[in-house]
């Protein structure tokens, strides 16, 4: 890992410290259209943004790894390098006089995760990204941009747009690819769209990396717990997806089974989470604490969370399930704050099972159920996953 990060630094522009070569957001719809028509593709101009974002991500991962293996000085070095690169990326490509008149969905998604939020507020990025998505009618992200874009839209309260981008019947979308006759994920989007169809397609029909966003279906849609490192608690996060009635997911971690299941009941959301004994977990809910009940009682009465604003964060009791009922609210933009543990509750020790860190995306989840109100849904996106059952 050190060798790889060192290599990325060696090929960077000596003036900025940022890499400028790469492939860009491979296989986006507009990339294929530009190749067929001979017109410029916006992704070519954005290659340095994507490569720099990946460089920053590698530095962050290496900083975490150095801490885990017991080298705090190196961890601090790579963390500071990532922060420095983040500032340079922001200044070089997103602020005057270098700010561009046009960005792709992928470039904005990378800006959200890898630019310095103190210099480029995320609210500004989200506003531009939502406008580009055109209420879910415009899908133009490739294998690197689709997953972060979906995560951002769901987390910022635009789950309906995220869902429509994938399932809209208009071309291009994953629903449209299936309607073209696909039984696997194709390499690129046929430039002729529905007019070309299955018979006119001339590329590879086995490019599973286009499904790299499937992790988002579990954590973003079903709310299944995830964490950034073994030093962080497992976090269940509920996002709103209009016209979706319910979702559930479960997986095995070294300590046991962890699961999330939510459903709509009238104007309320009923959400059940389950964690095994021996781990620390928390749930983040887009509602005010006084409006959330566990076991029929307001959580705020026992968790002392009256200060929570539009999003509330609560601690799960280890080794048990937690049933939460909350009025349906659109997620707000305030930052969730941690609530104290319940009165008399013994603080839970943080888990140090390193296998969870290295297997953060291992997806042996047993179920994933979607039942939307409308005719079309994203269940078809999982039709090829042997580890999932859809209803």
| Mean pLDDT for the stretch of residues 282-288 | 76
- What pLDDT shows up at residue 293? 67
Looking only at the bridges linking them, the beta strands covering 244-253 and 281-285 are unpaired
| Cβ atoms 289, 308 nearer than 8 A | yes
> Looking up tokens 């029929």, which residue turns up?
296
- What pLDDT shows up at residue 205? 87
> Which tokens is 101 given?
């008149």
- What pLDDT shows up at residue 5? 97
Say whether pLDDT at 210 is over 80: yes
> Looking up tokens 């480029």, which residue turns up?
120
What is the pLDDT confidence band of residue 133, given thresholds at 50, 70 and 90?
very high
In order, the DSSP letters of 289-302 are GGG-EETTEEHHHH
Question: Model's pTM, two decimal places?
Answer: 0.78
> Looking up tokens 């390098």, which residue turns up?
81
| Cβ atoms 235, 284 nearer than 8 A | yes
Picking from 126, 52, 58, 57, the residue whose alpha carbon sits closest to that of residue 331 is 126
What does the alpha-carbon distance between residue 109 and residue 53 come to, in Å, rounded to a whole number?
10
| Mean pLDDT for the stretch of residues 122-136 | 96
> Looking up tokens 């699961």, which residue turns up?
259
Mean pLDDT of the chain: 77
Highest averaged pLDDT of the listed ranges 151-155, 175-179, 332-336, 348-352: 151-155
In order, the DSSP letters of 100-130 are -S---HHHHHHHHHHS-TTTS-HHHHHHHHH
Burial pattern 16-42, b for ≥16 Cβ within 10 A else e, equals: bbbbeebebbbbbbbbbbbeeeeeebb
Question: Rounded to an integer, what is the distance from CA 297 to the centroid of its chain?
Answer: 32
What is the pLDDT confidence band of residue 342, given thresholds at 50, 70 and 90?
very low
Of residues 167 and 32, the one with the higher pLDDT is 167
Of residues 367 and 105, the one with the higher pLDDT is 105
Say whether pLDDT at 390 is over 70: no
- What pLDDT shows up at residue 61? 96
Looking only at the bridges linking them, the beta strands covering 281-285 and 368-372 are unpaired
| Mean pLDDT for the stretch of residues 242-268 | 91
Picking from 119, 93, 116, 106, the residue whose alpha carbon sits closest to that of residue 30 is 106
Task: Compute, in degrees rounded to 10, the torsion defined by CA atoms 307, 121, 128, 188.
Answer: -100
User: What angle (nearest 5°) sits at the alpha carbon of residue 292, between those of residues 290 and 294?
Assistant: 125
Mean pLDDT check: name the lowest of 17-21, 78-82, 173-177, 347-351. Answer: 347-351
Of residues 43 and 198, the one with the higher pLDDT is 43
- What pLDDT shows up at residue 308? 26
| Mean pLDDT for the stretch of residues 95-105 | 96
CB atoms inside a 10 Å sphere around CB 300: 20
Say whether pLDDT at 350 is over 70: no
Looking only at the bridges linking them, the beta strands covering 244-253 and 368-372 are antiparallel
The SS3 of residue 322 is: strand
Q: pLDDT digits over 156-205, tens only? A: 999 999 999 999 998 888 888 888 888 888 888 776 666 766 677 778 88
What does the alpha-carbon distance between residue 328 and residue 330 come to, in Å, rounded to a whole number?
7
What is the pLDDT confidence band of residue 315, given thresholds at 50, 70 and 90?
low
- What pLDDT shows up at residue 88? 98
Task: Compute, in degrees rounded to 10, the torsion defined by CA atoms 253, 257, 263, 269.
Answer: -80
Mean pLDDT check: name the lowest of 32-41, 67-76, 91-100, 145-154. Answer: 32-41
Q: How many helices (H) and strands (E) does the chain have?
A: 14, 10
| Mean pLDDT for the stretch of residues 365-382 | 25
- What pLDDT shows up at residue 56? 98
């Amino acid at each position: 890992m050190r060798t790889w990060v060192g290599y990325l630094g060696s090929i960077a522009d000596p003036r900025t410290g940022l890499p400028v070569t790469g492939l860009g957001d491979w296989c986006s719809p507009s990339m294929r259209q530009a190749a067929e028509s001979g017109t410029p593709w916006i992704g070519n101009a954005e290659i340095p943004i994507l490569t720099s974002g990946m460089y920053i991500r590698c530095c962050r991962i290496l900083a975490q790894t150095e801490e885990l293996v017991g080298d705090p000085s190196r961890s601090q070095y790579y963390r500071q390098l990532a922060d420095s690169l983040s500032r340079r990326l922001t200044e070089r490509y997103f602020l005057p006089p270098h700010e561009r008149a046009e960005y792709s969905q992928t470039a904005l998604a990378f800006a959200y995760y890898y630019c310095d939020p103190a210099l480029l507020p995320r609210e500004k990025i989200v506003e531009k990204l939502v406008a580009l998505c055109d209420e879910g009618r415009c899908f133009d992200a490739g294998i690197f941009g689709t997953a972060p874009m979906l995560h951002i839209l769901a987390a910022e309260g635009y789950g309906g747009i995220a869902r429509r981008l994938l399932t809209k019947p208009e071309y291009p979308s994953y629903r449209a690819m299936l309607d073209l006759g696909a039984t696997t994920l194709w390499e690129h989007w046929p430039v002729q769209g529905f007019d070309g169809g299955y018979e006119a397609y001339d590329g590879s029909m086995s490019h599973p990396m286009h499904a790299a966003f499937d992790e988002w279906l579990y954590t973003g849609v079903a709310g299944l717990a995830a964490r950034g490192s073994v030093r962080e608690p497992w976090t269940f996060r509920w996002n709103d997806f209009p016209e979706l009635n319910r979702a559930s997911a479960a997986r095995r971690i070294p300590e046991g089974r962890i699961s999330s299941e939510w459903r709509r009941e009238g104007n309320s959301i009923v959400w059940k989470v389950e964690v095994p004994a021996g781990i620390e977990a928390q749930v983040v809910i887009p509602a005010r604490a006084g409006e959330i009940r566990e076991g029929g009682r307001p959580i705020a009465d026992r968790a002392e969370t009256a200060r929570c604003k539009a999003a509330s964060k609560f601690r799960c009791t280890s080794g048990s399930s937690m049933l939460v009922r909350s009025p349906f609210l659109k997620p707000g933009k305030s930052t969730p704050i941690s609530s104290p543990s319940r009165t008399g509750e013994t603080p839970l020790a943080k888990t140090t099972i390193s296998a969870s860190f290295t297997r953060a995306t291992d997806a042996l989840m047993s179920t994933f159920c979607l039942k939307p109100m409308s005719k079309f849904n994203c269940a078809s996106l999982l039709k090829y996953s042997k580890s999932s059952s859809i209803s």
